């Protein structure tokens, strides 16, 4: 299953938990895992609390590790300004795996699934949710 997510870029946090839950319900998988993947090399997926302070802290940390206003080799080669976005995506990753129990994602009380778009402009991102059933022996 898949769905699209419009983003604003520049470290735009989008909570995709409800869409991912819908995909799991519609898959019919009772027990197993959901592999959630976003297409792109300037975007990431992670689980975190939906709290503004955490978002600001993560953004501040990423700015220290991969600042947007740095002269990346990528900029020289391609003429764009999204070198930091590529590095941030590589650090966080573009997928996550969540257990499925009783046809639902097994997330912690405050745990949500976030797509974070680091690109320099708005985009429409495609998210894939692949549900894999556990087999009993």
As a whole number, mean pLDDT of residues 59-84 equals: 90
Angle at which helices 83-92 and 52-65 pack, to 10 degrees?
Answer: 120
- Specify the pairing of strand 112-117 against strand 43-48: antiparallel
Its pTM surpasses 0.85: yes
The angle subtended at Cα 84 by Cα 81 and Cα 87, nearest 5°, is 135
Nearest to 115, CA basis, from 39, 11, 14, 8:
14
Q: With 70 as the cut, is the pLDDT of residue 137 above it?
A: no
Percent of residues, the chain, with pLDDT higher than 90? 89
The whole-number average pLDDT for the span 101-108 is: 97
Q: What pLDDT, in 10s, does the model give residues 115-134?
A: 999 999 999 999 999 999 99
Whether 101 shows a pLDDT value over 80: the answer reads: yes
Fold of 2-133: Jelly Rolls (2.60.120)
**So what's the pLDDT on residue 78?**
78
* Three-class SS state of 37: strand
């Amino acid at each position: 299953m898949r769905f699209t997510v419009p983003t604003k870029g520049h470290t735009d946090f989008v909570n995709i938990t409800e869409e991912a839950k819908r995909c799991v319900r519609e898959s019919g998988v009772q027990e197993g895992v959901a592999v959630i993947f976003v297409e792109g090399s300037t975007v990431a997926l992670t689980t975190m609390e939906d709290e503004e302070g955490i978002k600001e802290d993560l953004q501040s940390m990423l700015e220290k590790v991969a600042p947007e206003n740095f002269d990346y080799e990528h900029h020289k080669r391609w003429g764009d300004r999204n070198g930091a976005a590529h590095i941030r995506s590589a650090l966080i990753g573009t997928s996550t795996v969540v257990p499925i129990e009783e046809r639902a994602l097994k997330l912690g009380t405050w745990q949500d699934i976030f797509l974070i778009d680091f690109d320099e402009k708005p985009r429409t991102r495609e998210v894939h949710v692949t549900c894999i059933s556990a087999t009993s022996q």
